Amino acid sequence: MSTAELTLPSKKYRQKMTVFSIVVVAVALACIYTNFNPLGIFMEFHYVRDLVGEMTPPNYHVLSDNSSTAMAILQTLSLAFLGTLYGGVIAVVVAFLAASNTMPFRAIRLTARFVLSFLRVIPILVVILIFVIAVGPSTFAGMLTLVIVTVGNFGKLFTEMIENVDNPPAEAIFSVGASRMQVIRYSIIPQILPTLIANLLFAFDVNIRAAIGLGIFGGGGIGFQLQLAKSVLHYKDVTAIVSLIIIMVIVVEKISDYLRRKILGEGKLR
Considering only residues 79 to 118 of the shown chain, the ones binding other proteins according to CB under 8 A are 79, 81-82, 85-86
Q: How many residues bind other proteins (CB under 8 A)?
A: 83
Q: Nearest CA to 132 among 56, 194, 218, 236? A: 218
Q: Nearest CA to 90 among 65, 67, 115? A: 115
Interface with other proteins, residue 186, by CB under 8 A: no
Selected range binding other proteins among 59-67, 106-114, 139-147, 182-190, rule: CB under 8 A: 139-147
26-45 residues near other proteins, rule: CB under 8 A: 26-27, 30-31, 33-38, 40-41, 44
Angle, vertex CA 94, rays to CA 123 and CA 262, nearest 5:
85
Cα 248 off chain centre by: 16
* Distance between CA atoms of residues 164 and 263, nearest Å: 19
- Minimum distance of other proteins from residue 10's CB (angstroms): 5
Interface with other proteins, residue 1, by CB under 8 A: yes
41-70 residues near other proteins, rule: CB under 8 A: 41, 44, 47-48, 50-51
193-212 residues near other proteins, rule: CB under 8 A: 209-210, 212
3-state secondary structure of 101: coil
- Cβ distance to other proteins smaller for residue 110 or 232: 232
Interface with other proteins, residue 160, by CB under 8 A: no
Q: Which amino acid is at 28?
A: A
Q: Nearest CA to 79 among 224, 270, 198? A: 224
